[in-house]
């Protein structure tokens, strides 16, 4: 399979929003259509483009009720994309995510001179920096592989133990972006702001959140306290 045109795919906001929903849970067509502010015809077109590019795959599955099978979509790649665009450099690389043996990477560019006397010295320094960049890319590949696996486990655990898809969607988004406003989540999840706040408060029972001035993020201090409490729970 040829490399997908990732810039073309990500250049459209609707396609980015669809991918965001698909990373949270498996989605059937009508569910995806309800989560974006365009017509179902437009959604079908965007999904077809991403399937053609090899980003998505589709399949049919019988629903829990009597009726026609639903068409589901799933992301079919596991990659990180890195790019640099300057007046002097344009390059990008797709990094395949999976099990990576890299645990520790040391980067040292102090030995690469800033000033150079000759063209050959400049070329030599550029090659040396490129080797250091490769170490960074290996580290990124390892980190993203572990984050991807851990996110999968978080989703499976949350759906098994709590089972609230909207709460999970809020947690999923906040983990990826760091923090989000109620308005932003309202737009992304196609919910009223009041509904977002209610769901966030319910989520706080399971994963501690800081909800203040319309901004929601993980409360890491309470999270550490809760982890400590869980660790002591079995001690006499």
- Which CATH architecture describes the domain 163-232? Orthogonal Bundle (1.10)
Give the pLDDT band (50/70/90) at residue 69. Answer: confident
Nearest residue to 93 (alpha-carbon basis) of 105, 104, 84? 84
- 163-232 shares the fold of 6-75: yes
Q: Give the pTM.
A: 0.85
CATH class entry, domain 6-75: mainly alpha
Query: 54 pLDDT exceeds 50?
Result: yes
Domain ranges of the chain: 6-75, 79-147, 163-232
Place 216 in a pLDDT band, splitting at 50, 70 and 90. very high
Q: Kindly provide the b/e burial profile for residues 9-35, where b requires at least 16 CB atoms within 10 angstroms of the residue's own CB.
A: beeeeebebbbbbbebeebbbeebbeb
Q: What is the per-residue pLDDT across 14-26, written as a single tens digit (0 to 9) for each?
A: 999 999 989 987 7
Q: What is the pLDDT of residue 232?
A: 54
Q: Are 144 and 89 in contact (CB under 8 A)?
A: no
Per-residue model confidence as pLDDT tens digits over 121-166 = 999 999 999 999 999 999 999 999 999 999 999 999 999 999 999 9
């Amino acid at each position: 399979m040829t490399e997908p045109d990732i810039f073309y795919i990500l250049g459209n906001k609707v396609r980015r929003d669809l991918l965001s929903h698909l990373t949270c849970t498996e989605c059937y067509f009508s569910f995806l259509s309800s989560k974006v502010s365009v017509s179902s015809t437009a959604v079908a077109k965007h999904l077809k483009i991403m399937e053609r590019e090899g980003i998505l795959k589709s399949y049919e599955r019988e629903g829990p009720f009597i009726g026609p099978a639903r068409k589901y979509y799933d992301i079919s790649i596991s990659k990180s994309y890195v790019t640099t665009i300057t007046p002097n450099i344009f390059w990008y690389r797709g990094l395949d995510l999976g099990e990576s043996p890299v645990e520790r990477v040391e980067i040292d560019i102090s030995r690469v001179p800033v000033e150079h006397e000759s063209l050959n010295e400049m070329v030599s320094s550029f090659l040396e920096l490129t080797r250091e960049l490769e170490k960074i890319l290996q580290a990124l590949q390892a980190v993203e592989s572990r984050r991807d696996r851990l996110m999968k486990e978080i989703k499976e655990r949350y759906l098994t133990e709590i089972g609230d898809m909207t709460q999970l969607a809020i947690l999923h988004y906040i983990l990826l972006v760091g923090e989000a406003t109620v308005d932003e989540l309202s737009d992304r999840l196609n919910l009223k702001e009041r509904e977002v706040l209610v769901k966030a408060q319910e989520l706080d029972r399971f994963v501690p959140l800081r909800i203040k001035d319309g901004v929601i993020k993980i409360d890491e201090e309470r999270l550490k306290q809760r982890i400590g409490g869980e660790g002591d729970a079995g001690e006499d």
